[in-house]
Amino acid sequence: MKKVFLLLISMMGAMTMFATNTVTVVYNGSEAAVTIDEDVAGYITVSSGTSSHVVLTSAAEDVEIIYALSGSSDDGEFCLNGNYKCEIDLNGLTLTNPAGPALNIQNGKRIDVSAKKNTVNTLTDGKNADYKGCIHCTGHLEFKGKGELNVVSNSRHAIFSDEYVEIKNLTLNITGAVKDGIHCKEYFLMESGTVTISNTGDDGIQCELAGETSTGELVDHEDEDSGNVYQLDGTLTIENYKGQPVKADGSIFYRGGTQNFDTSGVSAITTHQPQSDGAVYNIKGQRISEPTHGIYIQNGKKFVNK
């Protein structure tokens, strides 16, 4: 009886391990094969048939779907419409769209873009005035993974996010852009990894405010709209740019890592660690002398004052 019970546990573990909620897209020239796991088939609509210009729409609201992209096409794209956070895995993808973005993500939620370990992935776009990046995202982008991602834009920015951009572990090479290498709103955060940006027609990195008023830096950056740029670790190289290496509506914080560019041309550089001086701040980053009821921050930690 004990052996049967252990076998059942083992089988259940295996079933959990292989229940991946994955949509697989394999590019091959002018075609692409789209395979949808049956667990999420009811959430996904494919409107592009077998074309290499893949167009998917996700109706998922409570299921985080993984989109695994691989293969090669010199006339293709990945267009994703949706309303819930998801992950895009790059598994050895070479994708060029002569008429617009290589990755066109029409989803206002958190999008993880992961270059899988030991893979090299290359994305190239073509001119299209309706879009702002080779990777164009209406939500927020979190780049990660231990693989390599190469991006070049022949239209505007190499990477555009209508919200924040975060980078962790990734090797990211932006080898050309008509305008900025990375252009985002709210904030830019590099936690680790290696980022090289070169041959841009304007700035290496530019971060704007999304709204009219800055929140200042917030704990864990949750709901932050500061226009700030942060580097915590890793190596950031920016070269052969025509604007500024880093430009921000807010402040620029180098708290670690290596900056391989001329920082003298960057305004508002600081290594200040905010909210760590014993003072009390509200969730907008404003210093408070006498806290009343509500949520506050002291020494980088939230507390509730009753």
pLDDT 10s digits, 7-33: 333 434 433 334 479 999 999 999 999
Distance, CA of 41 to CA of 19 (rounded, Å) = 13
pLDDT tens readout for residues 259-287: 999 887 554 444 444 445 566 655 445 56
pLDDT tens readout for residues 65-114: 999 999 999 999 999 999 889 999 999 999 999 999 999 999 988 999 99
Rounded to the nearest angstrom, the gap between the alpha carbon of residue 52 and the centroid of all alpha carbons in its chain is: 23
Q: Mean pLDDT lowest for which of 56-65, 116-125, 202-211?
A: 56-65
What does the DSSP assignment read for 201-252? SS-SEEEE-SSSS-----GGGTT----EEEE-SSEEEEEEESS-SEEESS-E
> What pLDDT does residue 83 have?
86
pLDDT at 213 over 70: yes
Read off φ and ψ for residue 6, nearest 5 degrees.
-65, -35
> What pLDDT does residue 285 have?
52
CA torsion sign, 105 to 79 to 154 to 92? positive
> What pLDDT does residue 298 have?
65
